[in-house]
């Protein structure tokens, strides 16, 4: 009897452990955003679920400017190349950190239509998040013409009001 009860208790706790383990696992499953992030160091972004349009936009600093330091517009680059991000008048802070006049970079690649400015920036091949506060990255693109543009997002990945965005540059990958 005692053995049976013990067995039942053990089974129950094992099941619970399994359940708890699964729970932990599922909440730690990388979100789409994390998968798309550069270098695997970022991004605490998975919990972003805006409930309405007006939420949590941050004001940008007056005169703030994002720009791509390298490559330059019209440059020809190899298939794997480095991009250096520039930001004037504001600071870089990792995603999730709500500090005034800060944000993190997002690289828009071959994007024809800009994302909504009052929503978190999507995360996919055309919208890359740098939620760890990176100011450069190495990109690998197929040969041909490509466009690159930077868009700063606040701690919730939402563009600032007004948006801090670089000029769109066109490069050729050889
Ligand atoms: Cu982001």
pLDDT in tens, 61-112: 999 999 999 999 999 999 999 999 999 999 999 999 999 999 999 999 999 9
Do the domain assignments include residue 93? yes
CA of 29 to the centre of ligand 1 (A): 18
Q: What is the CATH number of the domain that holds 111?
A: 2.60.40
Q: Which helix (H) or strand (E) holds 36?
A: helix 32-36
- Which residues constitute the domain of residue 37? 32-173
Distance CA 92, CA 154 (A): 9
Do the domain assignments include residue 66? yes
Any idea which of 6-20, 87-101, 125-139 has the lowest mean pLDDT? Answer: 6-20
Helix (H, G, I), strand (E, B) or coil at 2: helix
Q: Is the pLDDT of residue 7 over 50?
A: no
CA of 44 to the centre of ligand 1 (A): 9
Do the domain assignments include residue 7? no
CA of 160 to the centre of ligand 1 (A): 12
Do the domain assignments include residue 142? yes
Do the domain assignments include residue 118? yes
Do the domain assignments include residue 141? yes
Question: Exposed, middle or buried by CB within 10 Å (0-12, 13-18, 19+), for 51?
Answer: exposed
**For ion ligand 1, residues whose CB falls within 5 Å:** 129, 131, 153, 157
CA of 132 to the centre of ligand 1 (A): 9
CA of 110 to the centre of ligand 1 (A): 18
For the record, the structure tokens of 114 come out as: 């800009």
pTM: 0.71
Do the domain assignments include residue 139? yes
CA of 153 to the centre of ligand 1 (A): 6
CA of 123 to the centre of ligand 1 (A): 8
Starting at the edge strand found earlier in the chain, the sheet holding 136-140 runs 65-70, 80-88, 136-140
Do the domain assignments include residue 98? yes
Q: How confident is the model at residue 170 (pLDDT cuts 50, 70, 90)?
A: very high
Overall domain count for the chain: 1
CA of 94 to the centre of ligand 1 (A): 9
């Amino acid at each position: 009897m005692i053995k049976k009860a013990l067995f039942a208790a053990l089974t129950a706790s094992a099941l619970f452990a399994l359940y708890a383990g699964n729970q932990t696992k599922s909440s730690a499953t990388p979100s789409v955003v994390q998968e798309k992030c550069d270098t695997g160091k970022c991004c605490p972004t998975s919990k972003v679920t805006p409930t309405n349009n007006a939420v949590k936009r941050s004001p940008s600093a007056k005169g703030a400017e994002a720009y791509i330091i390298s490559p330059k517009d019209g440059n020809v680059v190899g298939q794997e190349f480095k991009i250096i991000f520039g930001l004037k008048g504001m600071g870089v802070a990792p995603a999730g950190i709500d500090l005034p006049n800060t944000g993190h970079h997002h690289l828009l690649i071959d994007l024809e239509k800009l994302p909504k400015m009052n929503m978190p920036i999507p995360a996919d091949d055309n919208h890359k998040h740098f939620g760890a506060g990176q100011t450069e990255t190495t990109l690998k693109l197929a040969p041909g013409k490509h466009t690159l543009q930077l868009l700063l997002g606040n701690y919730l990945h939402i563009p600032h009001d007004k948006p801090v965005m670089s000029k769109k540059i066109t490069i050729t990958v050889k």
